Amino acid sequence: MITLIYPKNEAVLSLVTDVQREFIERDNAGMHVIMDDLLYSPVKYSDANVTFYWLGQSFGKGFTDCYETNPDEINLSKPRYIEFAWASDVSCHLELDFDQETHFPGDPKPAEIIYPEDPRPISLALAGNLFARTKYKWRIVSDDGTQASEYRYFTTADEFPRALFIQGTASARDIGGIPLANGGRIRQGCLYRSAAIENIVDEGYKATERGLRVLRDIVKIKNDVDFRLEANKKLKESPIGKHVGYHNLPARGYELFFAPEYRHYWKPLIEFVADENNYPILLHCAAGADRTGTFFQIIELLLGVDIEYIRLDYTITSLSQRDYRCFNGYGECGRFLAGYKEGDDMMAVMRRNAEKFLIEDCGIAPETIERLRRNLVEA
């Protein structure tokens, strides 16, 4: 006999961890410092009202600054894993599937499922890397197939971020699910971002076999886009596997990406992510912060994301062990404020100017930007 214990039927379950939730609350409350202040006139380390120091005080001792030699270290950027519990007198396993029609590209699996060792007199399974705002069904089945529990159902909460756990790296997440200022949201399962997944080009991160399996077999990444120019001479194929397309499409961080000598980098990148035949795409640099962060600020601006969420998707990279980042003013979107007057829709002005930059200065066709929106925005 199989007796289900939890989750309760029709539960709404959060994929956001307590640390991520507190970080977002602090960021929204302005509990950060400008990096120049941090470097040249730092406040006292004991001031936990400053998010950077709160992270250091609370979790700093768990960070080794080297995931490749310690893949099990504290990873604050990973999602909450949902715990399933049952009692049975026979060996069983969890069956979990979508309970709604889905249109996620690449036909991804519903979740990564693991079975932890646990001293409690119940059986446990953990499911992670689920989609947000999605209905699932689950049951427990005996390994010999002779017994099965009833189905239960749950829905994952509509929350930011939809983080991923790719063991051995950090800051992995789907930009899908981020709400748009005027309604709708970015489509899940299309564009993922992360830090590096190998240590050939840069040290510090190296996805384990478990991490690569999630990218390959659960998320089912189709294309790996590497922003690092220096990777061109060191990598010829994706660490995820030979079936995954590897594309070295260089990017720069911050103001350099908008300088005349680097503007030609934008066209191949925008054209690639606008093409629905390329999804799901993983895009990354070394830390997933500067080049990756600059690129996604502009993508999210083009798609109609409000500045609050553009900021959060940039700053939450601070929850890796290497990369505290704060968002000054309007970030890289602020360079597109030309012509703004009091009473104007600020986001519309920045979006219009960003489009003008990409079309007139970078040679991107207006139809490409429309294709980007058509493929990545959903109601």
* 270 touches 369 (CB < 8 A): yes
Q: What is the mean pLDDT of residues 232-236?
A: 90
Q: What is the mean pLDDT of residues 41-55?
A: 62
- pLDDT tens string 279-334: 999 999 999 999 999 999 999 999 999 999 999 999 999 888 655 777 888 999 99
Specify the range with the lowest mean pLDDT, choosing from 94-103, 196-205, 235-244, 287-296.
Answer: 196-205
Claim: this prediction has a pTM higher than 0.85? yes
Beta strand segments in 143-293, E: 152-156, 162-163, 173-174, 185-186, 191-194, 223-226, 245-248, 281-284
DSSP structural state of residue 359: I
162-378 maps to CATH 3.90.190.10: yes
Distance CA 287, CA 174 (A): 16
pLDDT at 64: 41
* 218 touches 306 (CB < 8 A): no
CA 198 to chain centre: 18
Does residue 35 carry a pLDDT above 60?
A: no
Write a three-state SS string for 136-148: EEEEEEECCCCCE
Q: What is the mean pLDDT of residues 253-261?
A: 96
Distance CA 332, CA 296 (A): 10
Residue 252, both tokens: 């720069």
Does residue 45 carry a pLDDT above 60?
A: no
Helix (H, G, I), strand (E, B) or coil at 28: helix
User: ∠369-370-376 over CA atoms, to 5°?
Assistant: 90
- pLDDT tens string 186-212: 999 999 999 999 999 988 889 999 999
Domains 2-16+77-156 and 162-378 share a fold: no
Does residue 73 carry a pLDDT above 70?
A: no
Residue 178, both tokens: 């981020």
Does residue 43 carry a pLDDT above 60?
A: no
End-to-end CA distance of the chain: 43
Does residue 38 carry a pLDDT above 70?
A: no
User: What are the residue ranges spanned by the domains of the chain?
Assistant: 2-16+77-156, 162-378
The CATH code that applies to domain 2-16+77-156 is 2.60.40
Residue 236, both tokens: 């010829």
Look at 159 and 118; give whichever has higher pLDDT. Answer: 159
- At 305, the amino acid letter reads V
Distance CA 349, CA 336 (A): 7
